[in-house]
Structure 1
Amino acid sequence: MKEFRFSKKGMLWSLCFIMASIQLMAQETVQKDNQSKFSSFMYRQGSVYRSASGKPGPKYWQNAADYTINATLNEDTDVLQGTIVINYTNNSPEALDFVWMSLEQNRFTETSRGTLTTPIGGNRYAGDTDGGYTISNLKAKTGRRGSVSSKHLITDTRMQVFLNQPIPANGGTAEISMDFSFKIPESGMDRMGQQETKEGTIYSLAQWYPKMLVFDDVKGWNIEPYLGAGEFYLEYGDFDYSITVPYDHIVVGSGELVNKREVLTSQQLNRWDSASKSDETVYIITPEEVNNPSVTRPVQEGNVTWHFKMTNTRDVAFATSKAFIWDAAKIDLPSGKTAMAQSAYPSESSGNSAWGRSTEYSKGAIEHYSQKWYEYPYPVATNVASNVGGMEYPGLNFCRFQSTGRGLWGVTNHEFGHNWFPMIVGSNERLYPWMDEGFNTFINQYATKAFNNGEYKSGQTSPRNSLNYYTNPTRQGIDTYPDVALSRLNLGMAAYRKPALGLTVLREYVLGEERFDNAFSSYIKTWAYKHPTPADFFNHIENVAGENLDWFWKGWFYGNENIDLAINTVAPNEGGYIVVLDNKQTIPMPVKLLASYEDGSTEHIELPVEIWMKGDSWNYFLKTDKSLKSLIIDPERILPDINSSNDSWPVSIKVIED
C-alpha cells in the first residue's frame, strides 16, 4: 500500500475542501424559503390615473392654483399685510363643495399643534409664538357668475372654505380672495424670519400667503397640519406678486423682476445687463454702496413696489432689506438659454472666503444639475444670507449669513438642488421627506465632485462612515412620519443620508451608472411639475432600468434591515476553488468579488442577487488554473456592509476603507 504524507497546510486545505464539498451538496438538498425577501411589499398596481410603468396614467389629473398677491411691509411693526386672489381650477373627476387651504403662519401661536408638540427643551423647529394670521374680507365664488360665500372654518394651520355652488369637475373654476396680515417672526422655525445686521434687518419671507392644499387621486385632500419638520405639498400655477417696502429697501424674490426699470437706477440696470452676459460675478450693489440710498435708490422717500412674476411653480418666497450687497452672473443652460444667479448678503458676510463666492457656487451647482439631470426652468436663482441655516423655495434660498468656504458651498449646493426635488418633481414632503431630502442629497454629491474639479470633494463622507447608526436600536426607518414620530437625532439619517446612500448603491453597485441615470433622468422628466408617490418612483425606476428591485426597496426604504455579505470558506477544487458565501443579514445583494492571484493578475466577478432566493448561503465555483491569493467582497467599498471583517479572504488581509 502506498503511503501518503500531508503537511499541516495540506491537511488544512483538504479539510476546507471536504467542508466545502459537504456544503455544496447540502445547498441542493437543504433550502430556506427566502421568497418573502423578494416579494412585493406595497400596493403598486397601475390605474387609469397612475400606470404600472410609473408614469401618469391616461386619465391622470391634478388641480391648479394661480395667485395674484399684493403685500406691504411695515418696518416699524414688523407686520406684513396684503390681499390675495386665487383662481383655482378643479381638474378632478368630482365636483368640490369646499376647498382646503394652508395658513402656515398659524404655526407661530401658543396653541398651535406645532407649538404643543415641540419638546420643552425646543428643537430646530421651535419658533415664535406671538404671531399667526388675521384673515378678513374672505370671498369665494364658483365660476364668473357664482354667488359669493364668506363661510370658512379655521383649524390650526388649515382653513376650509365653503362655496355656495360646487366647483364642477373636469375643469371647473373658483375665485377665492381675502385680506391677510401677520407679525413676521424673528425666529421662524429655521425657514424664515429676521436677521439683524450692522446696516439693517434682513426679512426672509416664506409661508407668507394663504395657499391651496393639494387635492389628488391618492388621498383626496391632503390636510396634514404644518407642525415643523414636515415641509410642503403644493399645487402648481402662475404667480403675479408685488411687494411694497420702504424706499431704501432692496427686494429679491422668486421669479422675474418685471419692473426693474422702476426700482433700479440706470447704473444698476447697466450692471444687471453686464451680469446677465458674464461668467464672472458682477456687483449690482457694491459693498461701498450698501445702505446709501442716495446712490442706490431711484426715489428718496416713501414706499416702492417691486413686482415679480413666476410661471408653473408651486410656491414663491422673497427677502427684503436695506443692508444688501447684491451681485449676479450668467447661468449657461444646455439648451442655449441662460438664467441669472444672484446673491444678496450683508457687509459682514462679504469677502472671497464667504458670500463673495455665493454667486459662483450657485452658478456651478445649477449648471451641473441642468446638464446632468434636467434643465433649470426659472429665470433667476437667488441665494439670500439670512437667519435661516438653509431652506429652499423655487428659485430662491435662505442660507446662514455666517456660512463660509466649504460650508457655504455645501448649503448653497444643497438648497439649489432642491429646485429639482421637490420644486420640479412635486412630491409630498409632508409625508415622504426622503423623496426630496434624500434624492437631493444624492445628487449633491456628484455636483460637489464636479465643482471646480473637486475643490470640496475631500469633505464628502464614505458610505461606511455611519455604520454604527444601522445597528443602533433607536434608529428609525426612512418611511417614518417626519413630524413628532421621527426623532430629531434620526432625521438626518432617515430623511437625508440613508435614502441618498440607497440611490448611490443602486447607481454604483446594483444597476450601474448608465442604467440608473437613464431611469432617474426619465423619472424627473416624466414627473416634472406633477405629484409622484413612492410607488410611482419604484415602478418607474424598475421599468426603465429593467430590474425587479422589491428586495431592495423593502429592506432599505421600507424597513430597518441591514447588509452583511460574508466569505465563509474558500477551498481548492479540481479546476479552481469553491467559494462559500453567506448573507448574514436580511437584505440580499448581488455579490461583487475581486480575486487576486499570485501572479499579480486580478479578476472581477459578479453574482446576481437571485443566489439568495433559496437560502442565506451560496457556493460559487471560481474556475481558474491560477493560484488564488485573496478575495474581497465589494472592493470599492460602496455597500454600507455592517461587518467588514468578513468581507475578505484570507481574513488577515487589510481592506482599505475610504
Structure 2
Amino acid sequence: MKKSVTILFAFIISQFQAQPGNYYQQSAKYKMNIDVDAEKFTYQGEQTLEYTNNSPDELKVVYFHLYWNAFKPNSMMDQRVSGQGKNGDSRLQKDGVSRLASIPKNEEGSQNIHWIKQNGKELKFEIQETIMKVYLAESIKPNSTTTFTMDWDAVIPQQIRRSGRNNREGVDMTMTQWYPKIAEYDYDGWATFDYIGREFHAPFADFEVAIKINKDYVIGAGGILENPQGVKGYESKPLLSIDKNNKVTWRWTAKNILDFAWSADKDYKVKSFDVPEGPKVFLVYQQNNKTKAWEEAQPYVTKYFQIMNSHFGKYIYPTYTFIQGGDGGMEYGMCTMILGEAQNIKDLMGLMAHEGAHSWYQQMLATNESMRPWMDEGFTSYAEGYTMHQLFPEDLPNPFIKTLDSYRAFIKKGIEEPAVWLGDHHDNGSAYTYASYVKGELYLVQLGYIMGEQKLAEVLKQYYDQWSMRHPSDRDFLHIAQKVSGMDLKWFHNYWINTTKTIDYGIKDIKYDTKSTTIILINKGQVPMPIDFSVMTTDKKIITYQIPLNMTHTWKDKDMYGDFSTMPYWPWTQKEYTLTIPYTKSQLYVLGIDFSQRIADINMSDNFIEVK
C-alpha cells in the first residue's frame, strides 16, 4: 500500500511539474570571429554556439534566424510591402511601391551558410526564407548542452529597414540582425516568425565577438570593449595592432543579453560619462553641424537613467550606448541605433528616452515582441511619456494627454485593429502603430486610473522584481496587477487588448435643487469603467466622487491625483447612474468626468459642464 501511494504521489508531482506554470528558459553562448571587407560591404563569419536546453522537451531540430535574407526583391517582406501599398510601413515603401523591389543585385542582403556542425558532426539544414531549419545528429535532451559550429558569409544589404549599408545620414554600416541567431524555444514552441519587418524574440545569451575591420573605422556596440587601447576612438593615444591587410580586431563581450548589435563608420566620435549608481554611457555619433544636440545630452541622459532606475527598476548592465545609425530607432542589448540629426535636444531625448526604455521593456523584461508587441512598445511608450514629462515639464493634466488625444483622433478613422494581433499581421501600418504603441501605453494609463497611480507604480516595481531577466507574458503581468490591486482586471484586459471596443461616458442630465444637485451619467460606449466624477466650486475647491465598477470587486483607495469619496458601485450592465451631491447651483463652477483626463473616453464633449 505504501509503495502504491508513493508511486501515485510521484506521478502527481510529475504531472504538476509538466504544467505551464513550471517556468524555464533556454540559454546560449556565442563566440564569433568576423572579418569585414568594408569596400565590398561583405563579411566572413565563424560561430561557436553552446546551447543549453532547460526545457522538459527533447529537441530533435533547431531553428536559426537569417534576417538579412529578407532584403531582396520578391522576398516575403517585399511581397507583404507590395501587397499593403500605401497602407504599409512608410520606411519600406515610397508612394505605395516597395523599396525592396528595386534593390540592386549586389546590394541584396544574404547570409550564406557554408556548413553547420553539432559536436563536430555536419548537419543537414534547409533555408525557408529567413528561417533555417537544422536537423540534429543527436537530439538535445532536457537539461543538457550541445555545441554548434558554423561558417558563413554575408552581404550587408542596402539600408532599407534597421540594418544595412549607407543609411540616409551617411553611416557606413548598421549591423543589426546580422548573424545566424538561434530561435527562442519556450512553452509556445519555437519562435519562428518570418522576418516581415516588425520585431524580434530571442533567448538570453552571452557573447564574445571579434570583429576584424579596416583600421580607420570606429565601432559602437552593445557590450564591453575589451581592447579600447588597440582600436580607434576610445582612448586618447591608442596603440593600434594593424595586420598585413590594414585591419584591426575589435573584441567585444556581453553577458545575458538578447542580441548583439554594432555599427561602424570612419567619422564616428565617441563620448562617455558615468551615471551615478547607473551605467557608463557612450555616445557614438558623427560630430557635425547636424548633430549639435548630442553635445547637450549628458545631463538629460543622466537624469533619465536615474528616473528609470527609481520608478521602473534598476538597469543592471554596466554600460549603455546610444549609436547614430539605422533608420529611426531600434533597441538591442546594451545599446540602441537612432537617427542622429535631431533639430533640438528635446527631439533627440524623445528618441533616446523611448529606445533606452526598451532596455526594460524588451531587454530585461523580455516579452515576445512578435506575439505581444503592445507589451514592449506600449510599456516603453509609457516610460517615455513618464520620463519626458519630468525632463521637459509641461503644464498638462497628465503626462499622457497628447497620446490620449492622438488615440481619439485615430479612432475616428475607423481602421483600428486589436492589439492582440501578431505584429506582422496587421493590415495597416497605422493600425499596427496604434495597437502596439498607443493602446499598449494607454493600457497602463487606464490601469493607473482604475487602481490609482501609487498601486500602478507598485505593480511596475513588482513586475520588474519578479520577471527581470526572464520572458514574461501578458498573463504574468496581469497576475501581478490583480495581486497588488486586489482587483479583478481580466475584463479590462480582454476589452482593451482583444477587441477594438471603446470607452464613452457622458453627462446626460443635471437637476439643481435648493440643497443639492443631481447628475445623471450615461455609458454610451462598449467598455465599462469606474468613474471619477469631480466638481469645482465657485471658491475653486475640487471635490471628487469615485463611482466604482462592480466587476473590479475591490475599489481604488487612493490616487495621486487627489482625494475622493467612494460612492455605491455602478453595475456594468446598467447604462445610467444617478449621483446626488450636497451643492447647489450657486456653489458650483464646473462639473466633470475625470478632471485628470486619464480615461480614454473617445468623446470628451459631454464630459464637462460649466455651470452658468
TM-score range, shorter chain: 0.7 to 0.9
**Matches of 2:180 and 2:539 in 1, distance apart?**
72
Per-residue Cα deviation, 1:288-325 (whole angstroms, up to 9, x for no partner): xxxxxxx7663567111111111111111011121111
The 5 Å alignment of 1:421-436 reads 421-436=361-376
**Structure 1 residues 473 and 417 mapped into 2: Cα distance closer, same or farther (>3 Å)?**
same
Alignment match of 1:445 (pick from 382, 385, 410): 385
Match of 2:557 in 1: none
**TM score, norm. by length of structure 2:** 0.85
Larger Rg: 1
Match of 1:173 in 2: 145
Shift of 1:566: 1.4
**Matches of 2:534 and 2:27 in 1, distance apart?**
54
What is the letter of the counterpart of residue 71 of structure 2?
A: F
Shift of 1:88: 0.6
For the pair 1:161 / 2:131, whether they are aligned, the reply is: no
For the pair 1:616 / 2:575, whether they are aligned, the reply is: yes
**Matches of 2:547 and 2:600 in 1, distance apart?**
18
**Structure 1 residues 505 and 80 mapped into 2: Cα distance closer, same or farther (>3 Å)?**
same
| Aligned residues: CA RMSD | 2.8
For the pair 1:240 / 2:182, whether they are aligned, the reply is: no
For the pair 1:383 / 2:351, whether they are aligned, the reply is: no
**Matches of 1:192 and 1:363 in 2, distance apart?**
30
**Structure 1 residues 234 and 644 mapped into 2: Cα distance closer, same or farther (>3 Å)?**
same
Match of 1:364 in 2: 303
Contact 1:71 1:81 in 2 (8 A): yes
Shift of 1:446: 1.4
Match of 1:400 in 2: 339
Q: Tell me the SS of whatever aligns to 1:363.
A: helix
For the pair 1:490 / 2:431, whether they are aligned, the reply is: yes
Contact 2:401 2:597 in 1 (8 A): no
What is the letter of the counterpart of residue 211 of structure 2?
A: I
**Matches of 1:598 and 1:63 in 2, distance apart?**
63
Alignment match of 1:533 (pick from 465, 473, 476): 473
Match of 2:422 in 1: 481
358-367 or 587-596, larger mean C-alpha shift = 358-367
Match of 1:255 in 2: 223
**Structure 1 residues 364 and 388 mapped into 2: Cα distance closer, same or farther (>3 Å)?**
farther
Shift of 1:492: 2.4
Contact 2:514 2:584 in 1 (8 A): no
**Matches of 2:297 and 2:395 in 1, distance apart?**
15
**Matches of 1:614 and 1:458 in 2, distance apart?**
32
Q: Tell me the SS of whatever aligns to 2:385.
A: helix
Shift of 1:250: 1.4
**Structure 1 residues 596 and 262 mapped into 2: Cα distance closer, same or farther (>3 Å)?**
closer
**Matches of 1:583 and 1:91 in 2, distance apart?**
50
**Structure 1 residues 367 and 181 mapped into 2: Cα distance closer, same or farther (>3 Å)?**
farther
The 5 Å alignment of 1:549-588 reads 549-572=489-512, 576-588=516-528
Match of 1:224 in 2: 193
Match of 1:413 in 2: 353
Match of 2:161 in 1: 189
**Structure 1 residues 50 and 636 mapped into 2: Cα distance closer, same or farther (>3 Å)?**
farther
**Structure 1 residues 575 and 248 mapped into 2: Cα distance closer, same or farther (>3 Å)?**
same
Match of 2:33 in 1: 70
Match of 1:605 in 2: 545
Shift of 1:179: 1.0
Contact 1:362 1:416 in 2 (8 A): no
Contact 1:82 1:181 in 2 (8 A): yes
**Structure 1 residues 300 and 467 mapped into 2: Cα distance closer, same or farther (>3 Å)?**
same
Match of 2:9 in 1: none
Contact 1:86 1:177 in 2 (8 A): yes
Shift of 1:602: 3.7
**Matches of 1:600 and 1:317 in 2, distance apart?**
55
**Matches of 2:392 and 2:168 in 1, distance apart?**
33
Match of 2:7 in 1: none
The 5 Å alignment of 1:70-109 reads 70-109=33-72
For the pair 1:593 / 2:533, whether they are aligned, the reply is: yes
Shift of 1:326: 1.3
**Structure 1 residues 242 and 364 mapped into 2: Cα distance closer, same or farther (>3 Å)?**
farther
Shift of 1:455: 12
Q: Tell me the SS of whatever aligns to 1:332.
A: coil
Match of 1:41 in 2: none
Contact 1:49 1:61 in 2 (8 A): no
Match of 1:290 in 2: none
Contact 1:105 1:132 in 2 (8 A): yes
**Matches of 1:49 and 1:604 in 2, distance apart?**
50
**Structure 1 residues 465 and 189 mapped into 2: Cα distance closer, same or farther (>3 Å)?**
closer
Give the number of the structure with larger relative contact order, counting CA–CA contacts within 8 Å between residues 6 or more apart: 1
**TM score, norm. by length of structure 1:** 0.79
The 5 Å alignment of 1:348-363 reads 348=288, 352=292, 354-363=293-302
What is the letter of the counterpart of residue 321 of structure 1?
A: D
626-635 or 479-488, larger mean C-alpha shift = 626-635
What is the letter of the counterpart of residue 253 of structure 1?
A: A
**Structure 1 residues 476 and 191 mapped into 2: Cα distance closer, same or farther (>3 Å)?**
farther
Alignment match of 1:500 (pick from 441, 459, 481): 441
**Structure 1 residues 418 and 95 mapped into 2: Cα distance closer, same or farther (>3 Å)?**
same
**Matches of 2:468 and 2:68 in 1, distance apart?**
28
Match of 1:646 in 2: 606
**Matches of 1:132 and 1:485 in 2, distance apart?**
26
Match of 2:413 in 1: 472
Shift of 1:501: 1.9
**Matches of 1:204 and 1:455 in 2, distance apart?**
39
**Matches of 1:560 and 1:88 in 2, distance apart?**
41
Contact 2:329 2:339 in 1 (8 A): yes
Alignment match of 1:318 (pick from 245, 253, 262): 262
Match of 1:327 in 2: 271
**Matches of 1:111 and 1:614 in 2, distance apart?**
51
Per-residue Cα deviation, 1:71-114 (whole angstroms, up to 9, x for no partner): 11101110022101111111111111111111111112324211
Q: Tell me the SS of whatever aligns to 1:239.
A: strand
Aligned length, in residue pairs: 559
**Matches of 1:76 and 1:85 in 2, distance apart?**
27
What is the letter of the counterpart of residue 599 of structure 2?
A: L
**Matches of 2:28 and 2:395 in 1, distance apart?**
42
Contact 1:185 1:194 in 2 (8 A): no
Shift of 1:370: 1.5
What is the letter of the counterpart of residue 403 of structure 1?
A: A
Shift of 1:327: 0.8
Contact 1:413 1:444 in 2 (8 A): yes
**Matches of 1:360 and 1:68 in 2, distance apart?**
36
**Matches of 2:18 and 2:207 in 1, distance apart?**
27
Contact 2:230 2:241 in 1 (8 A): no
**Matches of 2:165 and 2:464 in 1, distance apart?**
32
For the pair 1:341 / 2:281, whether they are aligned, the reply is: yes
For the pair 1:124 / 2:91, whether they are aligned, the reply is: yes
